[in-house]
Amino acid sequence: MSNAVIENILSRRSVRSYLDKQVSEDDLKLILKAGEYAPSGMGKQSPVIVAVQNKETIDKFVNMNAEIMGTNSNPYYGAPTIIIVLADKNVSTHIQDGSLALGTMMLAAHSLGISTCWINREYEMFNTKEGRELLNEWGVSYDVVGVGALALGYSKGDVKEAKPRKENYSIIIK
């Protein structure tokens, strides 16, 4: 493959086991900047991106998310950094905007040799009293909703090969 962007897209995989090694501040800033430059509907930039490396806050996320999921496992797979993406619910494209930010950051991280996994249930987490208290603590408006999160760190093992793509995934109409 001679196109670095396409190569990055085709080789990125979700990782569900992380080393206990923190992502550097410089790399984290680059990943966040990529998320800030993701496309957004009408350029309204509805997402709010919150990067957390504080273990106490990550433990709160783990407990909140696991409770919603109905499990005792760690929904963030032990990643040392969690990126939460929220978006202004008053912008009609807020879910799409937040999703693009998440996807863009996943690709940026992969290009730096950092692994990610998209995590769900942030919508439910930030609709709880504890979630709203965190938003207030961070100075974030109550008009945001959780879109998703990224577990971010270095893979503990080998990254799996991609599953074969389904037949008729893409259709071209001429």
pLDDT in tens, 54-111: 999 999 999 999 999 999 999 999 999 999 999 999 999 999 999 999 999 999 999 9
Instruction: Please give the pLDDT value at position 141.
Output: 78
pLDDT at residue 1 is higher than 90: no
Of 46, 74, 1, nearest to 140 by C-alpha is: 46
Q: What is the CA radius of gyration of the chain?
A: 17
* pLDDT (average), residues 154-168: 92
Find the DSSP H helices in the chain.
Answer: 4-11, 25-36, 55-69, 94-111, 122-125, 129-138
Task: Tell whether pTM > 0.85.
Answer: yes
Q: Which two tokens stand for residue 94?
A: 């807020």
Q: The tokens 């008009």 sit on which residue? A: 143
Instruction: Please give the pLDDT value at position 160.
Output: 87
